[in-house]
């Protein structure tokens, strides 16, 4: 099983290092860290970032609030579709898409892979369909998935995985790929765990945003701390799950490598370690 780390979106919000911790200029840099997994049954995408239609018709698909707030850079090279092709694959080779959640910067490329089966927690789809409140009406964009026909929904309960509940036996997927419910950022938010020859990878999605939140003495940039508070639906659950993830990330015996969706430094490090491919 080979794992490719992809950057399927670039966002440059105002704030520089107050946002991402490293940028020296006016703007910070956030990525959309997705995975492309080669399995015996075809390719699996974990999240899709922004899609082709988002790039070509952003104001028909996305909220102007988030387009400008996040200063989204709309370029075809960042789409999962282009990055799958650049690695010598066809879009038809993508048989499954596993979503951490349905936010606009995670689900925008779903319709670029019309033959894929899409896996998500039931609670997330229910929240996305209701779209209650200012943020939820703008974060969930039905235009991004209204043509998807092959859905698989899952309840949050399951067997244990390093102290977390785990949804196993995902329909059509190998047993090495699990969904780990991590509510808080959204109601049906989940991490995705993948067992590789080098150990477990845990894509924690938006359960945290900044790499140093996983330090034994956690810290976060002011910009990302504020953004997480703005986007959360359940603060106690979000903070509780961050604490549990932190304990796992600092347990060397676990063999689990944890990363989030938007930290560019994490993406660069994992790209070098895992595949030899550098993110675009």
pLDDT value, residue 274: 62
pLDDT value, residue 277: 39
| Ranges in the chain, pLDDT < 50 | 275-280
pLDDT value, residue 279: 41
Among residues 31, 33, 27, the alpha carbon closest in space to that of 12 is found at 27
pLDDT value, residue 55: 98
pLDDT value, residue 198: 86
pLDDT value, residue 272: 83
* Rounded-to-integer distance, Cα 120 and Cα 131, Å: 17
The β-bridge relationship of strands 30-39 and 164-166 is unpaired
pLDDT value, residue 222: 98
Which residues does 164 contact at the CB level (< 8 Å), separation at least 6? Answer: 180, 181, 182, 191, 244, 248
Total residues found in the chain within this entry: 280
First to last CA, the chain: 22
* Rounded-to-integer distance, Cα 241 and Cα 232, Å: 12
pTM of the model: 0.95
The β-bridge relationship of strands 94-98 and 117-121 is parallel
pLDDT value, residue 157: 80
pLDDT value, residue 280: 39
Identify the burial level of 206 via C-beta atoms within 10 angstroms of its C-beta, where 0-12 means exposed, 13-18 middle and 19 or more buried: buried
H-state helical runs in 15-149: 17-20, 52-56, 58-61, 64-69, 80-86, 122-130, 134-139
**CB atoms inside a 10 Å sphere around CB 23:** 16
* Rounded-to-integer distance, Cα 230 and Cα 227, Å: 5
pLDDT value, residue 179: 98
């Amino acid at each position: 099983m080979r794992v490719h780390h992809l950057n399927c979106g670039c966002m440059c919000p105002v704030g520089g290092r107050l946002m991402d911790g490293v940028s020296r200029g006016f703007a910070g840099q956030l990525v959309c860290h997705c995975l492309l997994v080669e399995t015996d049954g075809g390719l699996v995408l974990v999240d899709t970032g922004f899609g082709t239609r988002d790039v070509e018709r952003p104001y028909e698909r996305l909220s102007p609030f988030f387009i400008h707030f996040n200063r989204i850079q709309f370029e075809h090279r960042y789409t999962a579709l282009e990055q799958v092709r650049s690695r010598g694959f066809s879009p038809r080779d993508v048989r499954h898409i596993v979503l951490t959640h349905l936010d606009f910067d995670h689900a925008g490329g779903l319709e670029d892979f019309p033959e894929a089966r899409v896996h998500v927690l039931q609670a997330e789809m229910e929240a996305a369909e209701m779209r209650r409140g200012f943020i939820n009406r703008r974060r969930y964009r039905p235009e991004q998935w209204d043509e998807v026909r092959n859905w698989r929904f899952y309840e949050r309960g399951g067997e244990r995985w390093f102290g977390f509940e785990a949804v196993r036996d995902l329909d059509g997927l190998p047993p090495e790929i699990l969904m780990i419910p991590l509510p808080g950022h959204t109601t049906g938010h989940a991490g995705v765990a993948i067992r590789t020859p080098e150990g477990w990878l845990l894509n924690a999605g938006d359960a945290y945003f900044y790499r140093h939140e996983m330090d034994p003495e956690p810290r976060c940039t002011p910009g990302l701390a504020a953004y997480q508070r703005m986007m959360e639906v359940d603060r106690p659950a979000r903070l509780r799950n961050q604490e549990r993830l932190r304990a796992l990330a600092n347990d060397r015996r676990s063999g689990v490598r944890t990363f989030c969706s938007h930290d560019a430094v994490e993406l660069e490090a994992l790209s070098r370690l895992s595949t030899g491919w550098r993110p675009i």
